[in-house]
Amino acid sequence: MKGLHTLSLAIASALILVSCGKDAGQTPEDPESKLKVSGPKSSLVSVIYAGKSTLPTKLVRPSPSLGAFVSLYLSQNHMMKVISALEGIDVQVKFAQANSIDTDETFDLLQEYGTVLQVDIIDMLNRSLDRDKAINRYLESLKGMNKRIEVKITELDERADSIKEERRAKKKEVRAVEKFIRHALKDKKYAAAGPKQEELAKLESELAEIETRESQNKKII
């Protein structure tokens, strides 16, 4: 299409040149007619030069097909992110349900500990027939609760460290896959980048589950 347009311009310029040439032949001594002819000549040369300076067909990029492929890839990439987010939400819901047992156990322990601390010791001793036994029972109960609390705190701290390391390792995997995809897109290796999108979605879902567990554990601590 571009070649036809260039050819049309060349023909039009040639006609103008011929017309001006005829006028110049009738009045060859008129200096103004020579000036009129120089303009069409210059335009014709410019048109021909522009037509010859076009890039070879082999160097022209297949922009229509490439654009369609890139659009399709980007749309799939967007969908992968959406799917990954939905999977992450689903994992969080399931984990919240499964983790409710452990959370309830921890809060029950804290509530029980708070009840022991709120005991009015003076009133308890006044109501007791044997104050020594009453105070000893209370102290033993308090020591038992302290031990249970210490065990639970140690358990939560160890779990926090474990989840933290797990999160770091999973983030490292996610970044590695993201880096691979970026390089593949930069090198136009779309076929290699496609399967990695599914892997990335799975890793991001697993990372969301780990971050949810970490958040729940921090709330308990």
Per-residue confidence band for 208, with pLDDT thresholds at 50, 70 and 90:
very high
Neighbouring CB atoms inside 10 A of 50's CB total 12
Residue 139 within any structural domain of the chain: no
| 95 and 169 together in one domain | yes
Q: Which residue has the higher pLDDT, 54 or 220?
A: 220
108 in any annotated domain: yes
| Pair (108, 165) in one structural domain | yes
Q: Tell me: do 12 and 91 sit in the same domain.
A: no
The distance from CA 150 to its chain's CA centroid, rounded to whole angstroms, is 41
Residues 16 and 99 in one domain: no
Burial of 45 (0-12, 13-18, 19+ CB in 10 A): exposed
Q: Is residue 121 part of a domain?
A: no
User: Could you read off the pLDDT of 83-141 as tens digits, one per residue?
Assistant: 555 555 555 555 455 455 566 778 788 788 888 888 888 888 888 888 899 899 989 98
**95 plus 179 within the same structural domain:** yes
The tens digit of pLDDT for each residue in 136-167 reads 998 998 899 899 889 888 988 999 999 999 99
Q: Is residue 120 part of a domain?
A: no
Question: What is the residue-averaged pLDDT of the chain?
Answer: 71
Question: Is 104 a member of any domain?
Answer: yes
Tokens 């209370």 belong to residue: 138
| Dihedral over Cα of 46, 51, 52, 54: its sign | positive
In this prediction, residue 177 carries a pLDDT of: 95
pLDDT digits (tens, 9 = 90+) for 210-221: 999 998 888 776
Instruction: pLDDT band for 61, please (50, 70, 90 cuts).
Output: very low
Claim: this prediction has a pTM higher than 0.75: no
Same domain, 98 and 170: yes
Number of domains in the chain: 2
Same domain, 47 and 153: no
Three-class SS state of 55: coil
One domain for residues 150 and 204: yes
- Domain span at residue 164 reads 66-114+145-220
Q: Would 119 be classed as within a structural domain?
A: no
* Domain annotation covers residue 215: yes
110 with 47, same domain: the answer is no
Tell me if 105 is assigned to some domain.
yes
79 & 103 share domain: yes
**Does residue 79 surpass a pLDDT of 70?**
no
Two tokens at 154?
Answer: 């140690």
Same domain? For 170 and 192 the reply is yes
End-to-end Cα distance, the chain: 72
Residue 36: pLDDT band (50, 70, 90) is very low
